[in-house]
Amino acid sequence: MSLSGKSVIVTGAGSGMGCAVSRRFATRGAAVACVDVDADAAEATATEIEREGGVALAVEADVSRADEVEAMVDRTVEAFGGLDVLHNNAGVPQRATPVEEVAVDEWDRILDVNLKSAFLGVKYAVPHLREGGGAILNTASTAAIRPRTGLSAYVASKGGMVALTKQLAYELAPDVRVNAICPVATDTPMLADFAGEDLSVEGMRETIPLGRLAVPGDIAAAAVFLASDDAAMITGTALEVDGGRDI
């Protein structure tokens, strides 16, 4: 599954799944723009890629802001000469909270970062992606398929991501393929932020038939496949990387 010669943007690249995906893309030959709201984290991922012999660019951007997303795309195209893959991966968690206790500002922030950001990325990337028959990957969640207690805003954002993926796959065909990845609970620093009175990390683990949490490398492997030419006939799917959670 070679990505040689391809230019890729990964948002939320400073840690967790985004870092793993960025590094895996680079090992397959892609030039990777590592985007994160935390400039130091983006730089750390890019530096690690370069240390391993890859090509990377660190980009600081708040993906909920249109001007910063447009600049992110422009900077990548200028640096790499084009754009082949956009991975809308940036996201924020929601601590398990009864819906009537969810603050309006928190709802807005989660929807802005987890869903609006994908719209903005696509809006500014599509003209470049059309030129070479590119691909879009969206990080959704198993929560979009089997919701959990107290995650109303998060589930809404990830359910919207799956629906947006299918709409874009239809709208952008045959020029651009669009797919989503639906990770189960993944062993990253963000995972503990989902815990609440009725939702624990161990409780999440117990719902997974394969008996373990996902790790970032599981998501990276799926992303490389969907971005590669090996997935040339796959568009509009929401791939469950879930250890059987959604059975």
Given the structure tokens 């990830």, which residue do they identify?
158
Catalytic residue among 25, 80, 154, 194: 154
Rounded distance between C-alpha atoms, residue 25 and residue 213, angstroms: 22
Catalytic site includes residue 154: yes
Adjacent-strand bridge partners of 138:
88, 180
- CA 30 to chain centroid: 17
Nearest to 122 by CA among 157, 89, 86: 86
Q: Rounded to the nearest 10 degrees, what angle do helices 117-132 and 66-80 cross at? A: 30
3-state SS assignment for residue 142: helix
- Beta carbons of 244 and 208 less than 8 angstroms apart: yes
Rounded distance between C-alpha atoms, residue 25 and residue 19, angstroms: 10
Amino acid at 240: E
Dihedral over Cα of 168, 73, 69, 27: its sign = positive
- Beta carbons of 224 and 1 less than 8 angstroms apart: yes
Catalytic residues: 154
